[in-house]
Structure 1
């Protein structure tokens, strides 16, 4: 299987819900939510790409980093690289429904495990979406992380118990789903949470607890105060609120405020291993990839997901060679410049 075959098959399978554009930048699908696009004008989606593109790499070749090590670790789980599959749901209304929810998330989690990393699973208006993710994680010996929508507290805690039973490595809430259009359309109550409510959720489990959807320093600090193990800097792929900045724009200030207090993860606009290097240099410790893995799954199943993750890891390694970084921990602000 090669990338060209995966892209060709994905374009047919996705039935126009995703055009599998040569450059996935949100222009063709702006406003298509439900669908694969960004909400409203699509500016938030595009800003993720623009923010990453605003940074250049400082090429260095006089050093000893001849064979860099891309390995990373998250909550005691060793990973082949810091690149993981982002939580995604909604195959019927976001991706055309050619494959079922269970098949799709199984491909994401299985392909991620085969690539030596973790696949995250999501939640949605249909309870089967969250259940499908847990089934996929259990099938892959717990090699996955389920993320729950910001539902009522009792419902979230019940979902956490089910994640524990599935053997998940961690669990969390995508707080950026508070205004998700697709949830509202299906009559599912979701909304913001107070710091006290997050504390309650953290205290409800022994699993590492993740808060996904942090975009400001003050909320990063609140999350740390609430005791979360990790945050994901994310604007939900530009699918929630129009005119938000790109994740790479806000990541440095958030990292300056809370790095060392919580694990910092990030998603948004990641298309290559070079993008991963930039985000690590800006302060992230792990990176989630979304839309590209949809193409991988619909175009090649678990093998297609693995192919794309392996490709990004190889690109990351090459970029590490050319910026003088022997390990992931060596990647810092010295490898990038703005402009």
Structure 2
């Protein structure tokens, strides 16, 4: 895969919405929502990358870890790597509209499957956004997770039924979408959920339920208490609330409270295999990648998505071998040093 050519095409096709910067750190697109930027000053987007940079990997080369096993099982599916595509929608108003919503979702799900892992799809003001993602997941044997915005209870449950009919391995709600500007502009009410409401939603399905947008230990415990099978530590890419900390900043305290009780996924600022290893060491079971997947899809379709994931996996293998990490299911926090 010619990565330079892929990025060039993505830059052309997303012109005016994403610059496909050499360093995707949110500085050039601050405040561009709709678009691919972060809310307000963009500080929450930037905080995700800064939080990862604040951790350094301890290099160790005197050990017996001669091979790096990146495989794991999530929601009953064997995956080649602990790297999943994050749910993203709004192609028309966030990415320029050169791809139809359903085609974009198909590229994400097909690309992640080709790389041996799993993709997630999202929800939005236009019904085609959620429907397209669910259709792509159904086409690929249920290998994917559709996420639903925090709508009215009945609306959420109706979409859960669609996920069930599609054979999805799990279903989730990005509760961090409660303050999305784009949803408000389109007249689609979303908002926070009480513990009782969350418990009702989780109880409405036999599928593993994922709560995305958890940023504090107390809310992680509430999500698990409500029956969630997994959480995603995420500030929604910095797109809903300015001045939030980065995911890697809050992940250790959350993991200390619920590790082993639920699957912990982390999302925000992942740009390399080394970033993935850092999140695993901080307590995540797997990492989600967002904006780079859009570049892959717009630049080279499903092949671009798969190529970027495989590149990250190769980087992860290298980082594991150089830190004495034999497998992604047992990553010690001792491989990290806080930057001074």
Q: Tell me the TM-score range normalised by the shorter chain.
A: over 0.9
Residues 34-183 of structure 1 aligned to structure 2 (within 5 Å): 34-183=34-183
Instruction: Give the deviation of 1:148 after TM superposition.
Output: 0.2
- SS of the counterpart of 1:329? coil
Q: Distance in 1 between matches of 2:2 and 2:311?
A: 11
Cα distance per residue 1:165-190 (max 9 Å; x no partner):
00100001000000100000001011
Q: Distance in 2 between matches of 1:117 and 1:66?
A: 23
- SS of the counterpart of 1:99? coil
Q: Distance in 1 between matches of 2:28 and 2:169?
A: 36
- SS of the counterpart of 1:328? coil
In the other structure, the counterpart of 1:218 is 218
Instruction: Give the deviation of 1:330 after TM superposition.
Output: 2.8
Cα distance per residue 1:234-272 (max 9 Å; x no partner):
000000000000000000000001111111101000000
- SS of the counterpart of 1:279? helix
Q: Distance in 2 between matches of 1:16 and 1:186?
A: 21
Q: Distance in 1 between matches of 2:155 and 2:39?
A: 27
- SS of the counterpart of 2:329? helix
Cα distance per residue 1:72-131 (max 9 Å; x no partner):
111111100010000000111000011111111110110001000111000000011000
Matched, 1:289 2:285: no
Q: Distance in 2 between matches of 1:119 and 1:332?
A: 26
Instruction: Give the deviation of 1:44 after TM superposition.
Output: 0.1
- State which drifts further: 67-76 or 161-170: 67-76
- SS of the counterpart of 1:264? strand
Matched, 1:232 2:229: no
- State which drifts further: 223-232 or 9-18: 9-18
Q: Distance in 1 between matches of 2:34 and 2:16?
A: 13
Matched, 1:4 2:1: no
- SS of the counterpart of 2:264? strand
Q: Distance in 2 between matches of 1:332 and 1:255?
A: 13
Runs of 4+ in structure 1 deviating by more than 2 angstroms, as ranges, are none
In the other structure, the counterpart of 1:188 is 188
- State which drifts further: 60-69 or 317-326: 60-69
Q: Distance in 1 between matches of 2:172 and 2:29?
A: 29
Q: Distance in 2 between matches of 1:21 and 1:185?
A: 27
Task: Provide the alpha-carbon RMSD of the alignment.
Answer: 0.6
In the other structure, the counterpart of 2:20 is 20
In the other structure, the counterpart of 1:318 is 318
TM-score by length of 2: 0.99
Instruction: Give the deviation of 1:141 after TM superposition.
Output: 1.0
- SS of the counterpart of 1:176? helix
TM-score by length of 1: 0.99
In the other structure, the counterpart of 1:301 is 301
Cα distance per residue 1:267-297 (max 9 Å; x no partner):
0000000000000000000110000010000
- SS of the counterpart of 2:21? coil
Q: Distance in 2 between matches of 1:133 and 1:104?
A: 9
Q: Distance in 2 between matches of 1:330 and 1:194?
A: 34
Q: Distance in 2 between matches of 1:317 and 1:127?
A: 39
Instruction: Give the deviation of 1:16 after TM superposition.
Output: 2.7
Q: Distance in 2 between matches of 1:120 and 1:190?
A: 20
- SS of the counterpart of 1:330? coil
